[in-house]
Amino acid sequence: MTSPEPAAADGGAPADWPAVLDDLEGEVLEVEQVLARERADEIAAWGRRVTDWVPPSALGPLPEELRERAARLLQHQLAVAERLVERITQSQKQRDVAARMSYGPSRPVAAYFDEAL
């Protein structure tokens, strides 16, 4: 595997398609790590991201030699996104159940004493 390509000189967007794909792969791996830690707050934070990825216009079309890599990345992204949605949904259901639980004092329970003993 080749080393990652450098980012743009100003530290902004990646300078070429291999670097763009490296960045996207890094984000997918980061989400997988968040899912593995099973922290609801981190998972929810990923779910609240509202910006869609937009391909860099200055780079031109994706080169033919990177299309297979990009297709594999897309499949990986979709699989991780599905897991993320499942975990967010599961977390919301757990919060709903917890919210319905009563944390107040419990009802008195009848106690019977056997006075014959």
pLDDT 10s digits, 46-62: 777 767 788 888 888 99
* pLDDT higher than threshold 90 for residue 5: no
CA 6 to chain centre: 26
> How far are the Cα atoms of 5, 8, 63, 95 from residue 15, in angstroms, in the given order?
8, 5, 14, 43
Identify the pLDDT of residue 82: 92
18-22, 54-58, 108-112: which has the minimum mean pLDDT?
A: 108-112
* Mean pLDDT (whole number) for 26-33: 91
Residue 91's pLDDT band, with cuts at 50, 70 and 90, is confident
pLDDT in tens, 63-84: 999 999 999 999 999 999 899 8
As a whole-number percent, the residues of the chain with pLDDT over 90 amount to 30
The answer to whether residue 10 scores a pLDDT higher than 60 is: no
